[in-house]
A = this chain, B = another copy of it.
């Protein structure tokens, strides 16, 4: 029976597997390559292509929603390999795709892919600055869980993402504050994790002592939707912007179901002082309305490029007597009401008007204005600014 005892097998085993890998047709070019000067080289092996371009948010933007439509750059071909090198880039997380004879494709050499609604894009990080907050660094890490909670208000069992900070499992007597972090239209319970790099940002801010250890709850803000595309019983559907129960009051009314689940299943403080709520775009709208409709619950409110609208005329109790709701909220004002938006955001004017009202009434808030518009680069940055302000 000794015949099947193989002493030196690693070589054989790896040979077989490497053969398989080669057969899987992975191209031999390297892309993207981050160079020493922080320029980035993209390569694509496509000898039969006539014209190849790269497009991504490292290029200047153009067009009507200009922040979302970066320019394209032509790549040059040598021996069947198309190549383009950027100028040195600021430290950031970037996304890109190739356009081969008019067909938009992902980089076959890069397995790192983000989905934004129905668009997929490759990503890379240039380090040495802001981008370092988005990297997995050599620090202790929190856990990230996808959990299902019962929501009697919607009649559904729904999925959400929960980040618990490093040490949560060990420090069994410690209680934690909670940040509820809400996505925008077209998003879901995956968006802040994947596009927003939330767990990396929290791990890094906490490890550097810049933020308090906290639990971050990332629910699904489409009240009629059970889970993100592909994660619910409606199968591998095409993701879209329009879902049921986005901005009709249903989500705000059902929000206590989320809080109940968290406060029943995690070691958290259950008072206003230890609760924050923030969101981007539609999630900013939700944060505005949830924090005013439940005026005694949240001591920290963050509106990131918010759809900063009231909604009078709707039948939902969330939208009745809205100005009075805000008046009540600010009778005992939040420790921090933080409004941030980019200069070219299509929601800029709404935020001007909201701030004008707050100014007229003397409601305390802080305002942060960034460059550019309605883009994830801003929302990731806002998170790195907002989180260190919480629970202190």
Contact = CB atoms under 8 A, between A and B. Distances in A.
B313 A7 contact: yes
Contact of A353 (B4, B124, B307): B4
Contacts of A230: 111-112, 136
Given A242-B14, A309-B6, A169 B144 contact: no
Interface stretch (A42-50, A251-259, A296-304, A382-390): A42-50
Contacts of A169: 147, 265
B310 A6 contact: yes
Count the copies: 2
B108 A105 contact: yes
A157 interface: yes
A230 B8 CA distance: 31
Contact of A20 (B68, B238, B354): B68
Nearest to A14: B242
Interface string A298-322: 0000000001111111100000001
A357 B4 contact: yes
Given A46-B101, A119-B24, A166 B140 contact: no
Interface string A96-123: 0000111111101111110111111001
Nearest to A141: B148
A103 B144 contact: no
Q: Is the interface of A mostly helix, strand, loop or mixed?
A: loop
B119 A18 contact: no
Given A143-B146, A265-B169, A356 B1 contact: yes
A390 to B, nearest CB: 23
B103 A108 contact: yes
Given A63-B23, A111-B120, A186 B353 contact: no
Interface in A332-351: 346, 350
A88 interface: no
A136 B65 contact: no
A298 B293 CA distance: 54
A82 to B, nearest CB: 10
A128 interface: no
A145 interface: yes
Contacts of A20: 65, 68
Given A14-B241, A16-B65, A148-B143, A118 B26 contact: yes
A331 interface: no
A63 B239 CA distance: 37
A103 B106 contact: no
Given A26-B119, A103-B49, A148-B143, A136 B232 contact: yes
A125 interface: yes
B4 A354 contact: yes
A21 B241 contact: yes
A313 B5 CA distance: 10
Nearest to A19: B65
Contacts of A104: 25, 27, 108
Interface in A120-159: 120, 123-125, 135-138, 140-148, 157, 159
A112 B116 CA distance: 12
Contacts of A142: 148
A279 interface: no
Contacts of A238: 30, 109, 111
Contact of A113 (B46, B105, B120, B144): B120
10 contacts: A9-B309, A21-B117, A27-B104, A103-B108, A106-B106, A111-B229, A113-B120, A137-B233, A141-B159, A169-B265
